[in-house]
Amino acid sequence: MKQKNWSVLLGAAFLMATSAVGPGFLTQTTVFTQQLAASFGFVILISIILDIGVQLNVWRVIAVSERRAQDIANLVLPGLGAVISFLIVLGGLAFNIGNVGGAGLGFNVLLGISPEVGAMIAAGMAIAVFLVREAGKVMDRFAQVMGFLMILLIVYVAVTSAPPLGEAVAKTFLPDEVDVLAIVTLVGGTVGGYITFAGGHRLLDAGIKGKASLGEVNTSAVSGITVASVIRVFLFLAALGVVSKGLVLDAANPPASVFQLAAGEVGYKLFGVVMLSAAVTSVIGSAYTSVSFLKSFSGVIRRNENWVIIGFILISTAIFVTIGQPVRLLILAGALNGLILPLTLGVILYAAYKPSIMGDYRHPPLLTVFGVLVVLVMAYLGGYTLLQQLPKLFN
């Protein structure tokens, strides 16, 4: 493997991982640990296996076809790429409003300033990345530094909370209960929507493509899931340590109370750093990936990509600062996100067996089985969730 590619491979891996690790990720992990205790370890294990299957399917097909996901979709069915792009960008915008809000909350915890002012400062940090000439390299490095910082801080809190490790290991393989909805939620939250394509599109932009690059693509995809999973596991252990002592988490902000109960006021400030790191990197990942889905449809966007990304961040921030987090939009985007993964993954799997797209490439049967399993399960539960949430939009 070329030495110069390592930075790009790690950058793509951390871009995917830190896109996944946003405010919702922190809250999900804490809440499910509170509900399932040590048995949540089993949910994490199964979701990691499924996540790796999804990422390898998607990244390999993007690399070998040398096309972005929307262009592959258009070759499968003309116009489908536009539909997928619309769903991805809608979901990316909605969740970016939440990401900006999470960054504001991080600054609020750290400095005591209002979340709105904090959100504007965080947006400025994210925008600064795309004002640099070699924004891709800066984005890669920023994601790596923030990712490592989150891991170090969460490991510290996990050690401080002193979780029952023996029970956690035992219940990871022999759980008291299996929560299928929790598994689907974790899979959707880690590789759903725009997150699935963040690293794959980044590798393509960096010129890592073709059959000859599959080894590098596999390494980067697995590395991305590994980073996100390490953060998930240690956050789970931190929460488990707190919950196992019978301490009650604050329902208004479960992850913050885990840090505070485990490590006192210092822990609370560390939560501010983790929330800020998670949110800003997710703002960057969401904006970059969402705009990458628009590049195929306009030469103007392609030539001015960084400025369009900056505009995307500004719009997200303006919506949060002026009207807060629009609950109905977030509900709809969340429900649609459950359907984006089976739709896009289904298209990718179909494309994997089309010689006109993939040439003489042969897709691994095991990955196909994994992919089909995820498509079926996520389609069923995504549809169910959407039907449950639609009435709330009109109440």
- What is the model's pLDDT at position 390? 64
Q: What is the dihedral of CA 150, 154, 156, 158, to 10 degrees?
A: -170
Amino acid at 52: I
- What is the model's pLDDT at position 103? 92
User: What DSSP line would sit under 74-141, residue for residue?
Assistant: HHHSTTHHHHHHHHHHHHHHHHHHHHHHHHHHHHHHHH---HHHHHHHHHHHHHHHHHSTTHHHHHHH
- With vertex at residue 18, the alpha carbon angle to CA 378 and CA 12, rounded to the nearest 5 degrees, is 90
Domain membership of residue 308 as a residue range: 5-393
Could you report the per-residue pLDDT of 198-225, keeping only the tens digit for each?
A: 889 999 988 899 999 999 999 999 999 9
Q: Rounded to whole angstroms, what are the CA distances from 163 to 169, 238, 258, 272, 365?
A: 11, 7, 12, 22, 39
Identify the band that residue 108 occupies on the pLDDT scale cut at 50, 70 and 90: very high
More confident residue, 17 or 386: 17
Give the CB-side neighbour count of residue 141, counting CA atoms within 13 A: 8
Per DSSP, which regions of the chain are E strands? none
Identify the band that residue 60 occupies on the pLDDT scale cut at 50, 70 and 90: very high
Give the CB-side neighbour count of residue 278, counting CA atoms within 13 A: 30
List of residues 6+ apart from 359 with CB closer than 8 A = 64, 211
- With vertex at residue 390, the alpha carbon angle to CA 384 and CA 395, rounded to the nearest 5 degrees, is 145
On the question of pLDDT at 11 being above 90, the answer is no
Evaluate whether 37 touches 245 at the Cβ level (below 8 Å): no
CB-CB neighbours of 1 under 10 Å: 10
Identify the band that residue 68 occupies on the pLDDT scale cut at 50, 70 and 90: very high
> Quick one: how far is CA 386 from the chain centroid?
20
The C-alpha atoms of residue 259 and residue 241 are separated, in whole angstroms, by 11
- What is the model's pLDDT at position 369? 93
- What is the model's pLDDT at position 119? 94
What does the pLDDT average to over 231-250?
92
The C-alpha atoms of residue 163 and residue 201 are separated, in whole angstroms, by 38
On the question of pLDDT at 392 being above 80, the answer is no
Could you report the per-residue pLDDT of 256-306, keeping only the tens digit for each?
A: 999 999 999 999 999 999 999 999 999 999 999 999 999 988 889 999 999
Coil vs helix vs strand at 354 = coil
- Number of domains the chain is built from: 1
CATH (domain of 283): 1.20.1740.10
The single residue listed with the structure tokens 């030539």 is 303
Evaluate whether 255 touches 267 at the Cβ level (below 8 Å): no
- What is the model's pLDDT at position 344? 92
Could you report the per-residue pLDDT of 309-332, keeping only the tens digit for each?
A: 999 999 999 999 998 765 566 556
What does the pLDDT average to over 160-166?
94
Identify the band that residue 394 occupies on the pLDDT scale cut at 50, 70 and 90: low
Residue 139 burial by CB count (10 A; 0-12/13-18/19+): exposed, middle or buried? buried
CB-CB neighbours of 326 under 10 Å: 15
Structural tokens at position 53: 């299957």
- What is the model's pLDDT at position 250? 85
pTM of the model: 0.88
The single residue listed with the structure tokens 């004002």 is 131
More confident residue, 183 or 106: 106
Which of 114-128, 173-187, 349-363 is least confident?
A: 173-187
Looking at every residue in the chain, the average pLDDT score rounds to 88
Which of 37-41, 145-149, 176-180, 292-296 is least confident?
A: 176-180
The C-alpha atoms of residue 50 and residue 355 are separated, in whole angstroms, by 26
Q: Rounded to whole angstroms, what are the CA distances from 392 to 166, 207, 389?
A: 42, 44, 5
Amino acid at 268: Y
